[in-house]
């Protein structure tokens, strides 16, 4: 069998698996930053992480982070590192509040993920229940969704970060909350996420997973985590819905 034929068979198999994922999903659980929008498209996540590090140092917490954590471009890495060393502390509470403020500042310049808005509206119109399951603040999610006139598609099912950081993904806590609130069995739901943590959370919750990767690096990470169905655009998902399965 030629290499081209092998690739064609792989694409066909994945397309069929995508159709099955969509057909079986009565509830769709969306990660927020990635599948719905790029929250930090115009408000650098790297700068936010750096400001959190500088704030920590200003509090005399120079040694609370390792070198790689201090250099991280992900503010969630900084937050979770501090929580591991000082769980439930005032330091963590203040740091989480500061991150929420930065996420809220990012909302006006957030970039909608292509095809996400019509996909959300189409799924809702077809009778599916939708929920957001995210490590971002629920305040931020609602601010963004309301600004896109999408809040009604999800309300009241937005499950995000709280002051207790232990159940952040890859812990399946927010997925389980969504399943419980919507009354959905895990195998009748679908999680759309863009990180290995999303995939692990879906596995632990027993929920089928659809990976969204906006670039080759993200696709590689998802594939390495074991995700078998990964799309680089939400357009084929929308097309499959509109074709009536």
**pLDDT for res 14:** 78
Residue 25 in this model has a pLDDT that exceeds 70: yes
Q: Average pLDDT of the chain?
A: 93
The answer to whether residues 212 and 21 touch, using CB atoms and an 8 Å cutoff, is no
Interatomic CA distance for residues 43 and 21, integer angstroms: 34
Residue of 154, 231, 158, 239 lying closest to 194 (CA atoms): 231
pLDDT for 131-140, tens place per residue?
A: 999 999 999 9
The H or E element that residue 48 is part of is: helix 45-58
- Residue 33's nearest CA partner among 149, 183, 168 is 168
Query: How many CA atoms, within 13 angstroms, populate the side-chain half-sphere of residue 100?
Result: 17
Q: What is the pLDDT of residue 15?
A: 84
């Amino acid at each position: 069998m030629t290499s081209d034929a092998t690739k064609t068979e792989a694409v066909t198999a994945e397309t069929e698996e995508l159709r099955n994922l969509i057909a079986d999903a009565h509830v769709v659980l969306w990660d927020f930053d990635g599948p719905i929008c790029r929250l930090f498209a115009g408000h650098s996540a790297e700068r936010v992480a750096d400001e959190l590090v500088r704030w920590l140092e200003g509090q005399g917490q120079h040694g609370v982070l390792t070198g790689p954590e201090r250099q991280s471009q992900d503010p969630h890495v900084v937050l979770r590192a501090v929580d591991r060393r000082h769980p439930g502390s005032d330091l963590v509470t203040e740091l989480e509040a500061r991150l929420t403020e930065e996420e809220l500042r990012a909302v006006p310049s957030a970039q909608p993920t292509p095809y996400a808005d019509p996909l959300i509206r189409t799924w809702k119109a077809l009778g599916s229940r939708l929920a957001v399951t995210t490590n971002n603040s629920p305040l931020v999610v609602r601010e963004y969704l309301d600004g896109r006139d999408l809040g009604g598609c999800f309300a009241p099912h937005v499950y995000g970060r709280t002051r207790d950081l232990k159940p952040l993904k890859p812990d399946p806590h927010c997925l389980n909350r969504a399943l419980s609130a919507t009354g959905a069995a895990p195998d009748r739901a679908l999680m759309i996420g863009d990180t290995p943590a999303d995939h692990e959370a879906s596995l632990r919750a027993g929920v089928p997973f659809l990976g969204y990767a906006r670039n080759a690096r993200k696709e590689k990470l998802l594939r390495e985590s074991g995700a078998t169905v990964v799309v680089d655009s939400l357009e084929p998902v929308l097309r499959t819905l509109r074709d009536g399965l």
